[in-house]
Amino acid sequence: MWFEQELDINQTKSSKEKETLYKIIRLSSILTKVTDKFLVKYGITESQYKILELLASANKKGMTQVEISEKLLVNRSNITGLIDRLEKNGFVVRSSSQKDRRINIIKLKEKARKTLASLSEPYLNEVADIMKFINKDEIKTLSYLLNKIEKHFEKENLKKQ
C-alpha cells in the first residue's frame, strides 16, 4: 500500500480502511499547508482564517473562546494561542464577559473585516484552483462522504458526553 511504502512501514496486515484514513489525515495536512501559503499574503494562517470567518458570522456580538473552540474542534489551549496572535496583530479584541469575568468575548476589529472583504474573492478563486481537477459530480460525492463520516463522529461524541 502507498502509505506503507511512503512511511516505510513493514506490516503484513493492512486494510483499505486504514489506507483511506491515512490519506484523509495526510490530505488535511497538505491542504492546510497550501492554504497557509496562500493566506500568508494576508498576514494570517488557515486556522486564524477559520476563526475570523466564524467571528464574522457571529456579527458584532462576538463569541467566547469556548464557543470558538467547540465550533472549530480545536482544544482550548490552542485557541488561546491563536487568539493571542490575532489580537497582537490587530484582528480581534478580547474582553471579559459582563456576566462572568473568567469568560473572554472575542470580537472582530475593523482590520479583520477589511482583510476578510479583500480576501473573499481571491480565496474562492484559490479554492477553485485547488479543486479544479475534480468535476462537480465528484465534488458532490466527496462532500457527501465526508459529511457522512463527520455526522457519524458527531453522533458518537454526543453519546459519550
CA distance 8 to 11: 9
Query: Is residue 76 exposed (0-12), middle (13-18) or buried (19+ Cβ within 10 Å)?
Result: exposed
Please tell me the predicted confidence (pLDDT) of residue 12: 46
Tell me if the pTM is above 0.85. Answer: no
Q: What is the pLDDT of residues 129-151, one digit of tens each?
A: 999 999 999 999 999 999 999 89
Which class in CATH covers the domain with range 2-130?
Answer: mainly alpha
Least confident of 62-66, 87-91, 98-102: 98-102
**67 exposure class (CB count in 10 Å sphere: 0-12, 13-18, 19+):** middle
